A = this chain, B = another copy of it.
Amino acid sequence: MSAFAATTEDPTTVEQEAFVAEVADELTSFLDEKHTLLGRISPDTLVLVDAIRSLVTGGKRMRALLAYWGWRGAGGRAGAREIILAGAALELFQAAALIHDDIIDRSDTRRGGPSVHRQFSTLHAERNWALNEERFGHAAAILTGDLCLSFSEEVFASIGAGAASPARSVFNLMRAEVMAGQYLDILEEVSGPSKPHGTAVARASAIIRFKSAKYSSEHPLVLGGALAGGSTELLAGYSAFALPLGEAFQLRDDVLGVFGDPAQTGKPAGDDLREGKRTVLVGLTIDGANEADRRFVDSHLGRQDLGEDQIAKLCAIMVDSQALARTEEMISGLSSTAFAALAALPVAADVRKALSALGRSAVSRTS
C-alpha cells in the first residue's frame, strides 16, 4: 500500500518499496527462526508465532517508513542493515501493542480478521476444551503480546546501538510514553465522566500526544534520524513536523472510528463508541452539545449493548454540536503546522517528498 502507487518508476518510490520488502524479509527470517525455537519446545506453541506473523504481515508500515526517511534525511545509507532492523523492531512493537490493545478494548476484529484473543478463544471452542474460552483467549493473547514485545526488543538490540546511544534513548522513551499514554486513555474512559466537562478536550489532547502522536509519528522519525547520527537541530526539526502530524493522524483515526466505512476500516461501526473511547471528538461533543445531548453521550458511551439507533443518535449529536467540524478544523490546522515544519527541514528533496507523501496519506486516509 504505497503512498506513491501512481508513479512506480519514481526513484523515491522504488527505494521505499525496496525498504518495505527488506523489512518484510527480516521479519520473515526472524520469525522463521523463532518458529524453529518454539517448535522444539512444543509444536503446541507454534500458534503464538503464527499469530504474530499474521499481524506483522499486514499494516501500512508507517512507523518503519518514518524511521527510514528519518535515517535517510540524517545521511544514513539506503538499504543499510541498521535501519531495516529498526523498522522490523518498530513493526513488532506495534504488533505487540495491538494484541494487548485489543484485549483491553475487547475488540473482536483487527484488520478485518479476528483479533488475537478471539483467535485463541475460537481455538478453545473448536477443540471443545474445558473451562472458559474467553479467559483462555485473553490469557493466551497476553502471553503472545509479551512474546512479541520481547521479540521487538531482541530485534532492536541486534542493531548494536550503544547502551547510551540517542537511538536507544528514543526507543526506551517511546515505550514508556506509549504505555503511560494508554493508561491515561483507559483512565479517561472511567474517570472522564466525573471530571469537569470544560477540560475534556485538553485531557483528550494530552492522551493522543503520548499514546499516539509521539509513539506513531515523532519517535519513529527521530529514532531513524538518531540512528544515523543526526544533529540535535535536525532531530528537533523532525519533532516539529512529526508531532503535529501524529496528532492530526490520531484525530483522523478518531473520526474514522465513528464515521468511517467499516468495509474500509476493518472495524465494525460503533466499536469506538461501545468501547467508550474519550477522544478529542468526544470532548468537543461534550463541550458543544446541549445539556440533554450531553447527558445522552455520558450515559451511552462505553455501553457494550449500544444498538444501531443509539449509535446513529450519538453520531448526529457529534455533527450537530459542531464537534465533527471542529475536529476537521483541528486536523487542518495541525497539518498546516506540520507541513510548514517539513518545508523548513534541512533534508534532501527526495526525503522531503517522501515525508510529504507519508504525511498526506496519514491525515487524509479513509482506512
Which residues does A use to contact B, with CB under 8 Å?
34, 37-38, 41-42, 44-45, 48, 96, 100, 103-104, 106, 124, 127-131, 135-136, 138-140, 142-147, 149-151, 153-154, 157-160, 162-164, 168, 172-173, 175-177, 179-184, 186-187, 189-194, 206, 210, 276, 302
Q: Give Cα A210 to B42, complex, Å.
A: 10
B131 touches A45 (CB 8 A): no
Going nearest first, the 4 A-B pairs with the smallest beta carbon separation are A129-B190, A150-B175, A104-B139, A45-B180
- A sample of 14 more A-B contacts (CB under 8 A), given A129-B194, A130-B194, A147-B176, is A37-B173, A42-B184, A42-B206, A44-B183, A45-B180, A45-B183, A100-B146, A103-B138, A104-B142, A129-B191, A130-B193, A143-B179, A145-B146, A157-B157
Residues in B whose Cβ lies below 8 Å from that of A210 = 41
Q: Give Cα A151 to B172, complex, Å.
A: 8
Q: Give Cα A149 to B145, complex, Å.
A: 11
Q: Give Cα A131 to B38, complex, Å.
A: 39
| A160, closest chain B residue (CB) | B163
Residues in B whose Cβ lies below 8 Å from that of A194 = 127-130
| A47, closest chain B residue (CB) | B183
**Distance (whole angstroms) from the CB of A129 to the closest CB of chain B:** 4
**Distance (whole angstroms) from the CB of A200 to the closest CB of chain B:** 14
B37 touches A140 (CB 8 A): no
Interchain Cβ contacts under 8 Å between A and B, 11 examples: A37-B176, A44-B184, A100-B143, A129-B194, A138-B138, A143-B182, A144-B183, A146-B149, A150-B172, A150-B179, A154-B175
Residues in B whose Cβ lies below 8 Å from that of A139 = 103-104, 186
B100 touches A180 (CB 8 A): no
Residues in B whose Cβ lies below 8 Å from that of A176 = 34, 37-38, 147, 150-151
Q: Which of B129, B187, B302 contacts A44 (CB 8 A)?
A: B187
| A179, closest chain B residue (CB) | B147
A138, A144, A147, A179: most-surrounded residue (chain B CB, <10 A): A179
